[in-house]
Amino acid sequence: MPMFLDRHDTPGLSATELAAAHQQDLEVQERYGVKYHTYWFDPDAGTVFCLAEGPSKEVVNQVHAEAHGALASVILELDPQMPLNMMLGSLPHHPAGTPYAAPALRAILFTDIRGSVAQTHALGDEGHLQLLRDHNEIVREHLTTHGGREVKHTGDGIMAAFNSAVSAVAYAIAVQTQFDARNEQAEVPLEVGIGISAGEPVTDNSDDLFGAAVQLAARLCARAEPGDICVSLAVRELCIGKQFTFEDRGHAELKGLPEPTPVYAVSRRA
């Protein structure tokens, strides 16, 4: 059966109240041929995301309607070719009726090798492939140590997801630092730009898993100069109080976005 992720905007809801509502869903679901697997809850943001299997969006929402009346504002049918754990990590599993909070907000990161077309012309295919292998080795090594997940390879970079913006920024600094160290010893420099944004999996204006956050991270990556780490306003705010310094790059016109967007760069100066 299809898998669905729905969003509820529930300001003021407590973890105990949500656990009771989820228990009510489980008591009703069999009559509709639906199975609710788990949910993510961010009490500060007042958002809930439920993961369920069922015949259709409408039937999945009917379970909510009968169980407690709290209908979803958005329901997204998930792409079966995109494993959910690539974006959200391991699913929260708690005994039914047990209160808990597990925010669904994630940081999305892109890397991109700069000047890849010119490098291919200058170095040949094999020379460019060696740079790509160096890139892949470094980015994948640090993903493991910083709790990131590779979502896909983009040809000249990677797209990755992290459970926290802090981890994503720490990862990006570690990667750029290792690229610097490599370039000190290498004949051909490997110059990479990185972009990071953060967001929830489904928003009111998105019909794609993390659609807005993915688009913004990609645009920030394209904006980044070689060696840069460009981040969104949300990422900077999520890192308040951490040992990072951000440079305000002003507002930028980013392709595909309707209005100028604040851009910040992570300072890597000691």
Q: Which domain holds residue 63?
A: 3-88
Compute the residue count for the chain: 270
* Contact predicate 152/79, CB 8 Å: no
82 lies in the same domain as 110: no
CATH number at residue 47: 3.30.70.3090
Residue 174 φ/ψ, nearest 5 degrees: -60, -40
Domain annotation covers residue 95:
no
Domain annotation covers residue 96:
no
129 lies in the same domain as 63: no
70 lies in the same domain as 21: yes
The predicted structure's pLDDT at residue 60: 97
pLDDT in tens, the chain (270 residues): 899 999 999 999 999 999 999 999 999 999 999 999 999 999 999 999 999 999 999 999 999 999 999 999 999 999 888 888 889 998 999 999 999 999 999 999 999 998 655 555 556 666 678 888 999 999 999 998 999 999 999 988 999 999 999 999 999 999 999 999 999 988 888 899 999 999 999 987 667 889 889 999 999 999 999 999 999 999 999 999 998 999 999 998 887 777 888 999 999 765
10 lies in the same domain as 78: yes
62 lies in the same domain as 196: no
Domain annotation covers residue 55:
yes
The predicted structure's pLDDT at residue 116: 55
The predicted structure's pLDDT at residue 252: 81
Domain annotation covers residue 94:
no
Rounded Cα distance, 44 and 28, in Å: 28
88, 123, 146 - which closes a domain: 88
CATH number at residue 112: 3.30.70.1230
114 lies in the same domain as 7: no
250 lies in the same domain as 150: yes
Domain annotation covers residue 49:
yes
| 264 contact partners, CB below 8 Å, separation of at least 6 | 230, 231, 232, 233, 235, 236, 246, 247, 248, 249
Domain annotation covers residue 101:
no
| 93 contact partners, CB below 8 Å, separation of at least 6 | 38
The predicted structure's pLDDT at residue 122: 59
Q: Is the dihedral of CA 79, 218, 75, 18 positive or negative?
A: positive
Domain annotation covers residue 219:
yes
Rounded Cα distance, 256 and 92, in Å: 34
When divided into structural domains, the chain yields a total of 2
Amino acid (one-letter) located at 126: E
Rounded Cα distance, 183 and 226, in Å: 12
Rounded Cα distance, 164 and 26, in Å: 30
68 lies in the same domain as 121: no
Domain annotation covers residue 131:
yes
CA angle (221 as vertex; 219, 225 as ends), nearest 5 = 120
* Contact predicate 148/161, CB 8 Å: yes
This prediction has a pTM of: 0.91
